[in-house]
Amino acid sequence: MTVKYTKDHEWIAVTGSTGRVGITDYAQSQLGDIVFVELPAIGKALEKGGEAAVVESVKAASEVYSPVTGTVTAANEPLADEPALVNSDPRGEGWFFEVELADASELDGLMDEAAYKDYVASLD
């Protein structure tokens, strides 16, 4: 499994030609308590950098962007009833959707974990 990160604080964990997408621990900590998540429909076509989902917290609503171009193959339905999973386990049970990658080379433009940590450190 390969994990990559975007400058918009999404992560994508890729196994084969499928990626599971969520927001980073940094993103959920900036948002505060998550109260609502709007997930993409299965079968929806996503563009790299395009809006894929919406997350609302007590502070603000924010878009979740797709790190890659592809088609949604799964959505994390438990988030509808328990959006706080994004806060408690952003890299585990708090994932948002899975996407079938249209072009795996798009991953090359994303950051690895070390680069993402450096990026987040530069924001403080």
What would the pLDDT profile of 34-82 be if each residue is shown by its tens digit? 999 999 999 999 999 999 999 999 999 999 999 999 999 999 999 999 9
Second CATH level (architecture) for the domain 2-103+111-118: Beta Barrel (2.40)
Nearest to 97 by CA among 48, 42, 59: 42
Please give the Cα distance from 21 to 64 (Å, whole number).
Answer: 9
Let me know: does 52 contact 96? Beta carbons within 8 Å: yes
pLDDT at residue number 99? 98
pLDDT at residue number 124? 77
How much is the average pLDDT of 100-119? 98
| Confidence (pTM) | 0.96
Nearest to 8 by CA among 65, 59, 86: 65
Burial class (CB in 10 A: 0-12, 13-18, 19+), 15: exposed
% of the chain at pLDDT higher than 90:
98
Please give the Cα distance from 71 to 65 (Å, whole number).
Answer: 13
